[in-house]
Amino acid sequence: MPDLFNKIGKFAGAAAETATSKAEEMREINKIKSEQNDMKNEYSSVKKKLADYVFKKYQDGTLEDETLKEFCSKMQELRDSIDALDEDIKEVKRDYEEKAAIRAEERNRL
């Protein structure tokens, strides 16, 4: 019987050691992932600043690199399209507001 308790104790000890080891591993991985996420955020920030800088040069007419000019031109086209879609959204909202106002007037007449 003491042999059985010894085996159970060793098994429980090994399980506890495994669980502790796994917890330490996860803690270390999470620490590294957190650092990695911080770097990814900083990378995105620097990338955006670079893009803004290059695009500003393009708008100022001081950008000389043809490949960058092509990218900037595409960005400008996309911005213009986005602005046009914003106007479409405003127009749709105005139309629906006008229709809602007309319906409200009709209800008030009843």
Distances (CA, A) of 75 to 56, 68, 70, 81: 12, 10, 9, 10
* DSSP code, position 37: H
Chain centroid to CA 68: 25
CB-side exposure of 22: number of CA atoms within 13 Å? 6
Q: Tell me what the mean pLDDT of segment 27-41 comes to.
A: 94
**What is the value of pTM for the model shown?**
0.60
| 44-81 pLDDT per residue, tens | 999 999 999 999 999 999 999 999 999 999 999 999 99
pLDDT score recorded for residue 74: 96
